[in-house]
């Protein structure tokens, strides 16, 4: 496994692979790997010939009061884990390499970036879209792999690829959960042991919501009430939002039909976590 820090070296390596007819899979990450990241790399390994994982904590997607400086980082552990699952190249650029002085061009994804999670984190999805577009331009992968855990991010990336006619297949992979349901996230490391005990309530609330759809509930209001009710039982959990949206534009809906996403954001103590379930009104099961 090679570790590459510059755009020019990565391009050189990937041009060579492409000229040999290899299909390139890209897994964009901010590092501090958990099973969720590794499942994306495994999917890329299974579906493409050369797997590149980028590790870049992207300043553009963090708000001024967010955790950019404190975001967990452990490159030695990450590279060991990536090698184990068969990653070929790690691309670990510096901030200066990705955003050289004078680089002021960014993407604006419009409304999808301003609603639900985007309403709480202004500019976040524009930052994600900008860095992913840049990574796509650098690596020109055949496929790029993202987790369903960040469902709105996934919709944003699909929209960018569609809107800008990028020739990339976006592959989404299921959320990986701890045995008690807690969705894996690099930010879980912030949880105190008491927070950690309360944290599975998020997944439980979402699974109850999905069960309610399965039982025939058809109003978003009843789904949201169910989530609120479950989370109100945990004193250390402060729900920031629960929203029921369609999958593509992430527009909130009032009535349940088709494929939808139930998303939540909550503070557990001082740690902010997000999670979601997809529901399909055909089955009501997590889709
Ligand atoms: O999901 C993440 O880790 C980040 O948002 C991503 C897609 C790597 C862009 O920085």
Tally the C-alpha atoms within 13 A of residue 57's C-alpha that lie toward its C-beta. Answer: 17
Question: Does 60 sit in the ligand 1 pocket, CB within 6 Å?
Answer: no
Residue 285, pLDDT score = 56
Point out the ligand 1 atom lying closest to the alpha carbon of residue 128. Answer: 9
At residue 97, does pLDDT exceed 80?
Answer: yes
Question: Does 29 sit in the ligand 1 pocket, CB within 6 Å?
Answer: yes
286 vs 141, more confident? 141
Q: Is 65 exposed, middle or buried (0-12, 13-18, 19+ CB in 10 A)?
A: exposed
CA of 118 to the centre of ligand 1 (A): 15
Summary mean pLDDT of the chain? 97
Residue 26, pLDDT score = 99
Residue 286, pLDDT score = 61
pLDDT level of residue 281 (50, 70, 90 thresholds): confident
pLDDT over 70, % of the chain: 98
At residue 177, does pLDDT exceed 80?
Answer: yes
For residues 247-260, average pLDDT: 94
CA of 193 to the centre of ligand 1 (A): 26
List pLDDT tens digits, range 2-13.
999 999 999 999
284 vs 48, more confident? 48
At residue 219, does pLDDT exceed 80?
Answer: yes
Point out the ligand 1 atom lying closest to the alpha carbon of residue 57. Answer: 10
For residues 234-251, average pLDDT: 97
For residues 163-174, average pLDDT: 98
Question: Does 28 sit in the ligand 1 pocket, CB within 6 Å?
Answer: yes
Sign of the four-CA dihedral 281, 151, 116, 201:
positive
- The whole-model pTM stands at 0.97
Total number of residues shown for the chain = 287
For residues 101-116, average pLDDT: 98
Residue 37 appears among annotated catalytic residues: yes
At residue 258, does pLDDT exceed 80?
Answer: yes
For residues 261-272, average pLDDT: 98
Residue 32, pLDDT score = 98
Name the residue at shortest CA distance from atom 1 of ligand 1.
29
Question: Does 150 sit in the ligand 1 pocket, CB within 6 Å?
Answer: yes
């Amino acid at each position: 496994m090679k570790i590459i820090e510059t755009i020019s070296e990565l391009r050189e390596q990937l041009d060579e692979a492409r000229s040999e007819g290899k299909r390139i899979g890209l897994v964009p990450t901010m590092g501090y790997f958990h099973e969720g990241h590794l499942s994306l790399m495994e999917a890329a390994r299974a579906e493409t010939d050369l797997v590149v994982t980028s590790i870049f904590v992207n300043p553009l997607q963090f708000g001024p009061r967010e955790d950019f400086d404190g975001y967990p980082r452990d490159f030695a552990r990450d590279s060991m884990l990536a090698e184990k699952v068969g990653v070929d190249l790690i691309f670990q650029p510096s901030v200066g390499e990705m955003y050289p002085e004078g680089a002021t061009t960014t993407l604006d994804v419009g409304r999808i970036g301003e609603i639900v999670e985007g309403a709480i984190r202004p500019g976040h999805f524009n930052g994600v879209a900008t860095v992913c577009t840049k990574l796509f331009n650098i690596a020109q992968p055949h496929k790029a792999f993202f987790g369903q855990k960040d469902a709105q991010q996934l919709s944003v990336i699909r929209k960018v690829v569609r809107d800008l006619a990028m020739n990339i297949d976006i592959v989404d992979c299921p959320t990986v959960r701890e045995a008690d349901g807690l969705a894996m996230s690099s930010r879980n490391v912030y949880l105190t042991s008491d927070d950690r005990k309360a944290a599975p309530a998020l997944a439980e609330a979402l699974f109850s919501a999905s069960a309610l759809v399965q039982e025939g509930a058809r109003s978003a209001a009843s789904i949201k009430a169910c989530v609120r009710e479950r989370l109100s039982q945990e004193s250390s959990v402060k729900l920031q939002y629960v929203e029921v949206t369609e999958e593509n534009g992430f527009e909130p809906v009032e009535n349940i039909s088709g494929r939808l996403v139930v998303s939540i954001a909550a503070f557990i103590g001082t740690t902010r976590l997000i999670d979601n379930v997809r529901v399909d009104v055909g089955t009501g099961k997590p889709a």
